[in-house]
Structures are given as C-alpha cells and as structure tokens.
Amino acid sequence: MTNAIQKLGRKLSILLGENDPIDNYVLQQNATSDKVFAKNYLQDLIPYRLYDEGTLLYENKKSYGFVFELFPLIGDVKTVQEELGALVRALFLPGASIQSLLFADPFIEPLLKGWQSRAGKKGGIFSCLAEKRTQFLLQEALSEETPLGAAPRNFRFIFSYAAPKTSLSNELLIRKLETFRRKAHSTFSRFCAVKELIPKELIPLAVALTGMDKSTKLPPIRDYQKERLINEQIGSGGVVDVLKKGLVFQRENDLFFKSFQSVEEPIDWNLSLAARLTGDFFDPSYALPCPFFLHYGLSYADQRKEELSLNTKNKLLRQQFRLSGVFRNNPHLIEENNEHEKAFQLLKTGEKFIYSRFNVGLWASPKNFEDFQDRLEALFSNNGFKLQESHFFHLDDLCRSLPMAWGESPFAMDLKKTRCCKTTLTSEPPLLFPLAAEGRGNAHDGALLLGRRGQVSFIDNFSTSSGTNATILARTGRGKSVLLAEMMFNRLGRGGRVFVFDKGRSFQNVVNLLGGVQLCFDTKSDLYLNPFAFIREGQTEKSDIAMMTDIICTMAMPDEKIDRDRKAVLGGAVSQAWQAHGNEATIDTVIDFLEKAPLKTSLMLGAAESLAYRLRKFSSHGEYSRYFFGKKELSLKEDFIVFETQELSSMPDLKAVINQIFAFLVSKEVLSSDRERKSLIVIDEAHAQLESPQMESFCSTWAKEVRKYGSAVVCCTQSFLDMQKTPGAKGIYRNSNFLFLLADDEELLHEMRDKEGGEAVEQFGSLARSLKKTDDYSEMLVRDKDQKAHALYRLRLDPFSILLYSSNPQEFAALERLKQEGFSIEHAIEWLSPIRKEYRTLIKDQDASIEEALRTLRKHHPIPSKDKEVPADVL
C-alpha cells in the first residue's frame, strides 16, 4: 500500500505538469529575487503578529493558525500512520497548510542546567560532578569533531497548521480552527506527549532558527510582551549575509547555511524509517555533528481544478489507446492508466489533492560545511532521496520553514513557481512526516545519557509507575561498574540513599572518598545479627516472620531447596519461638522447639531432628556464634553503605545468611525512613552472592516489598545464563521492570524469542549485537519490560567523573593523600584530572612512588590554594 501511494504521488506529479529538476532550475534562473530580498529586516519576513489566549490561535499577517510541539512517538507505527492520515484528511480546508519541522536543536544549555541543579541538589562533590558533566557536554555540543560522531543535541518536532484569512468569514474561520486544533491535539495525545507552543516558546524557536549561533545558549530574549507584535520580538542576534550559494550567520564564529529540497523520494518510504534521515544508526561516517532541520510542508489544493486536470489527462491517455501499436511502443501507458484509476478510487474514499514539499536546512562552520553537505546528500541518497540545493532561495526557504509560514501563500502559489513542489494525495504526508528521531529516555532526571544520533536523554528507574527494580547484564570490562557508580551518584546527589552488596571491594574507593560506610566481615567480627531482634510487632509482623523463616531455612539448608514439609516444620518452630520470647528469641530457641516438637510421624520427627542439627552452626555454641550473639549492633542510618562479603567467600553457608539478613535490614530501614528519600539497593556480582537455593523465594518477596515503598533493587550479573542459574538473581529479575544490557547476550535473546517473538525482539537483538565499548563511551541497551520498549544509549563521562569513578589504586592513593593534606575531594580531583595521564606515566613508566609523583606534578602544576576559588575552566 505504501509503495502504491508513493508511486501514485510521483505519477500525479508528472501527469499534472509538475516541474522536473530542469524546469525548476529554469524558473530559478528567471525568477526575480528582488521580491524575496526587498525587506531590510528579518522581522518583516516573519508573519507572526498576535496570539489569543482564549482560542489558543495565532493571528499572522495573512493567516490564522496553531502550533504544537510533539515528543517521541509511543505506540505502533502503523497505527500512528493511520491516525495521521485521518488527521490530514480531517483538517482539509482549501488553501490551508500543514508543516512538520524536525529541528536538531544545539541550544541544550537550559536542558542540561536543569539536570545539573537537580543532580547536584545535595551540594559538595555531587554539585561539582553535575557541573563538570554539564560543562563537558556543552563544550562537546559545540565541537564538529566529537568522537561521538553526532554532537549532543535535542531533537524537537513542531507541527503547525495555518489557514489564509480569506478562506472563510473571520468568525467562521476562527470557529473552524478551534475545532481543528482540538482534533489535532486529541489525535496526537493518543500516541505521544503534546503541548501547545505559546509565544514565549515560539519566539525562542524562531530566534534559534533565524539567528543560529555556535553556542549552546540562545541570546537573551525578553519576556513575551502582549502589547507588541510577535515578529517584532524576534531578533537574529547578529548579521545574516545573503549570498547566492547560501547564508552566512556572522558571529564570533561564523556559520554557513544552505537549504536543500528533495526532488525525488523512495516509493517504499514510511514513518518507521523517518529517523534514518537524522543519521545512520550503525555507520558513524554518516553522522551530522552540526545543527540541521528537516521540513515537510503541504498545502491543500484547489480540488476542482486538480480533478479537472486529472480527468483531462486521463481522457487524453484513453484516446491514445485507440492508436494501433501504442501499447507495444509505450508499455508504460497501461501503468499510467492504472494509476489514474487508483487515484479516482482514493478520491472517492475522501482523499484530497495537496501540494507538498520536503526540504532540509544545514548549518556548519565554513571550514567543514562542504564535508557535512556531502554527508547529508550521501545519507539521503542511501535512503532513496535525491537532494538538490535551493539556489538563490536559501533565506526564503529558511523563513518558509518556520511554523505556520506556508499560511501566507494560499495553495503554495509562490513556492510552486520557484521551488520543486509535488501534487499528490493526502495519504502520502503521513509517510513523509519527519516525526521520529531518537528517544529521550523516560525522565528529566537520572543518568545523563546520549543517543547515537546525539539526543540528550535521561534514564531513571524511579520515574515510572511500572516498577523501579532493574537488572544489569554485563561481562567484565563493558562498563558495568561505571554505570552503577553513575546511578549511585545520581541517587545520592538528589538526597537519596544507596546500599550496596559488594564482593571484591569494587566500590571501596568511592565509599571512602565520599565518607560512606563500608561494613566488612571476617572471622573477627563480633556482631549481633539475631534475626528475631529485627521483627517488629504490628503491620509488618506477619511478613517479617515469613522473611525470617526464609533466612532460617537458608541456615538449615544452604545448598539445597527446602521442601514444603520441612519448611512447615521449621516455620512452626520459628512462630512458636516468636510467640514465646518475642525479640529475645534466638536460634537456640528455635532448636529447642524443634527438638520438642510433638510431630506425629517418624518421618517428620526425623526432619525436625535434622533441621535442629543443621542449625547448630548458628547457635550460641556454634562456629558462627560471633555473628549472631556478639555485642556489636549495626546502624544503617548513613546515606551510603557498602556491605562487603569478600572475606566470607570461604564460608558460603554463612555468606548466604548474612546477605539475607542485610537485605531484610535494608528493607526495614527503607520502610521506616522518609518515603521522599528514594533508596537504591545494588547487588553486584549477584551470581556469587545470591546462589543459595532458598534465595529465589526470599529475593522475589524482598524485591516486591522494596518496590512497594518506592525504592529499587538493581541486580547485576555477568550474563542471562548466570542470572538464570542464580536463584536470588532470578527472583529479582522476575520482579524487575528495567533491563540494562551492556553486551550481546544470546541466551537472553533466545528467551525473549520464545516468550515474545516478533519484529521488536529481532530489532532488540540487532541493537544488542551492535553494542560498543570504547575509550570515549560505553553503550547500553535499556528495556522497559512492561512497556515492551527499548532504546540504545551512550554513557559519556567527563574527566572529573572518570577520575572519581576510577578503580585504579594509585589514583585513589593520590586523592587520599591530598585529602589528608586538607583538600576536599572535589578540589583534589579538579587538580589531578587534567594531568591524570602525566601522573600515570610517572607511576608506571618511571616507577615513582605516590609521594614522588605528586611532588613532581606540583612543581609544574601548583595546586590552587584551598581558600581560593578553583577556576571553572580548570578542566
């Protein structure tokens, strides 16, 4: 169907006498440019005049209209395409126009500054980290040679509708447009987020497009003034030099601009392919590291005139059929006749004639413009489009690409005379709307990530109603520790709390630098971890006892899953111990009740005796008594706590119990603390920490409990296979909404194919196989399981973060030494991060000690005084 529509549009364009590229060039040569460039001020070329807050409509120089900004598509593309087709038909009004604009907006400073203020809410090191990341990405957004391929940016999609004031009587036209506006808003709301673009937002957009600068921040714009015309409040911010070959935006760093028009589109194009025109997802050589826009406009044609023209063409064609040998010499005539018949059928179903045009605008430095123009043309060519430069009309094209600008020229009369326009039907525009680019994540907070095409994105597992828990699958060396550190810093920086179950001291450096607490356990521990001491009477008593029973089951049978009968016997003893002694009960008490249990069968008596015997290790006389009957009680009131279990590796039965008790204590702490302070609970190397068979049931219940109170468990394993073999990790995965995949995992894809299947899973697999890890960034595939949605993101760290997250012992030792001298951690990192390579060379190649290396560096790079402000650009 898509092919037929595209093919029909092409045929109609030829049959109705549209310009081919040669005709268009002749028109351009003969056209008088004085009319276009006669005005002295850019403001006079912009049609916006007034805005009515009651009707939410704009009054322009010769038209009325409305403007929406749409956000990433949600839902099935086929359904969206059908919805858009119905909308285009429903908005029919002779002479009216629709414009869709996709803008790769480089002015991302407000977006990043907003994230910075929230991410650094706690102050100190967190504020410094957020500031450094923001400044780093802002500098990267200005670079045309970024290692990312595409510079950080924000893709914005703007939809506008405008109707000439001469269409209807003024009152009737306003009522009609109000109805159209509501219809459009309702349609868009079904598949994406939508907002009205009011003057205070439209003005900055117009300034950005007509006053492009090599900056990430727009020039200061006064607040919208209702008493002034809107176009008078739009300034270019500098000189725009109009040349035959393009525009020069004269700034501190000049930018060159050209407009291009599509003179040929592929016959099989559809909305699902739209993002391809913003950059090749798999080949960075087609990336565009500069600002650009894609614009598709349509104007509703004079239906009677176009139908008459089509009928005339069809009659002439049929007359040719009477000539002998006509089909032998002109076989294409049959195809043309079929196209005519198809057009007539579509017109009977409500389709309308339209004039349409697809154009592109590109800004870049004069130095790199030719290269980026080649990339743009190659990108479009690879996708079946043919671009042609808009000779002479670059400024006019830029102004006409602004929202509602087509409303000033009914039936696109001016454009048809001087540009390459096409006559087609209303079924075609939904296929060509540039409505998709790259997802923005799921929040305005959380981990700051980038898409392959440069979209600034935020992922926060707390910003969802579907569930906060997450699973991370990542082999060694794929960036898992860095991703975890990023998630932890984001939570702490916002005033939240973090609990980490660690094995191997992966987070020792970070916890020490931040002044957190690391709880280590060895044979000298003297702890009071009596499970009964943590049960609380009241609302949670029943669930507490159930979790305590699971813990004591692990004590009794750490290597095998307990059967139902044994669990019932043990559960009965636990309940009796609690009822008899409350918080004073111990494992000794449970053993006593097991030994005295009045069981009816010899089998059950044997089970009770076996359980009692197995529990003796954890009794007051057992080898693990110092962990459960000691004097030291744990406090979990700090914001950042790491439980380190490396020393318990030789005692797997004890480690499993300790981990369960810690998990229970964390859930109790989360429950009793301020719900607004969200807690992140991280289990690293889960395959080595949650391997006990009893863990599956326990962790499943625990993950549900934690999620219910607004906190989150993040479970990390090396692979899907490891996770499936680890009972505790498997239990958490079943209750996780988010999956973070940092490397291809065939077992995971096999599982997804079996359970879900379909095109989405195959697309997920294709993306998974393309995941990269370089010195400049690491990639991850993030999946929202409930929404069955996924997207690929990049984590790009600044030098400050790289040093802060580093697990290198020599770098950590240097920071510790500077801390001992009285420097704050942020002060120390600010000094060392730009000379990190020099430091590593001294340590590695010259075999210098920590003290010698620091002394050498300080001779050449003195540390700014602690009581002086560290320069913001020290990095």
Residues 461-510 have pLDDT tens digits of 988 877 899 999 988 888 898 999 999 999 999 999 999 998 878 888 88
pLDDT in tens, 80-96: 999 999 999 999 999 99
Q: Domain range spanning residue 289?
A: 2-301+352-432
CB atoms within 10 A of CB 500: 23
- Here the tokens at position 451 are 């898409």
Which pLDDT band, with edges at 50, 70 and 90, does 580 fall under?
Answer: very high
Give the total number of structural domains in the chain.
4
Instruction: Examine residue 437 and state whether it is found in any structural domain, yes or no.
Output: no
Q: In Å, how far from its chain's centre is CA 48?
A: 33
- Which of these three, 795, 826, 850, is where a domain ends? 795
Q: Are residues 467 and 573 located together in one domain of the fold?
A: no
Q: What is the mean pLDDT of the chain?
A: 86
Query: Which residue carries 């900055």 as its tokens?
Result: 204
Cα(43)–Cα(59) distance, rounded to whole angstroms? 16
Q: Are residues 113 and 231 located together in one domain of the fold?
A: yes
Which pLDDT band, with edges at 50, 70 and 90, does 8 fall under?
Answer: low
Q: Are residues 59 and 180 located together in one domain of the fold?
A: yes
Cα(291)–Cα(214) distance, rounded to whole angstroms? 9
Instruction: Examine residue 339 and state whether it is found in any structural domain, yes or no.
Output: no
Contact 801, 137 (CB under 8 A): no
Give the range among 54-63, 104-113, 344-353, 745-754 with minimum mean pLDDT: 344-353
Instruction: Examine residue 446 and state whether it is found in any structural domain, yes or no.
Output: no
Which pLDDT band, with edges at 50, 70 and 90, does 279 fall under?
Answer: very high
Strand 679-683 and strand 640-644: the pairing is unpaired
Q: Are residues 538 and 469 located together in one domain of the fold?
A: no
Task: Tell me what the mean pLDDT of segment 383-402 comes to.
Answer: 93
Distances (CA, A) of 292 to 104, 208, 369, 637, 852: 5, 11, 12, 51, 51
Q: Are residues 286 and 419 located together in one domain of the fold?
A: yes
Cα(374)–Cα(561) distance, rounded to whole angstroms? 64
- Here the tokens at position 517 are 């607490």
Which pLDDT band, with edges at 50, 70 and 90, does 411 fall under?
Answer: confident
Task: Tell me what the mean pLDDT of segment 760-789 comes to.
Answer: 89
Cα(455)–Cα(137) distance, rounded to whole angstroms? 12
Q: What is the pLDDT of residue 113?
A: 95
**What's the predicted TM-score (pTM) here?**
0.86
Instruction: Examine residue 45 and state whether it is found in any structural domain, yes or no.
Output: yes
Instruction: Examine residue 418 and state whether it is found in any structural domain, yes or no.
Output: yes
Give the end-to-end CA distance of the chain in Å, rounded to a whole number: 56
Q: What is the pLDDT of residue 379?
A: 97
Q: What is the pLDDT of residue 334?
A: 61
Q: Are residues 512 and 543 located together in one domain of the fold?
A: no
For the chain, helix (H) and strand (E) counts, in that order, are 33, 24
The three-state (H, E, C) secondary structure of 325-352, written as one string: CHHHHCCHHHHHHHHHHHHHHHHHCCCC
Strand 679-683 and strand 712-717: the pairing is parallel
CB atoms within 10 A of CB 663: 27
Instruction: Examine residue 661 and state whether it is found in any structural domain, yes or no.
Output: yes
pLDDT in tens, 545-561: 988 899 999 999 988 88
Q: What is the pLDDT of residue 724?
A: 87
- Is the model more confident about 473 or about 696? 473
Q: Are residues 768 and 814 located together in one domain of the fold?
A: no
Residue 34 has pLDDT above 50, yes or no: no
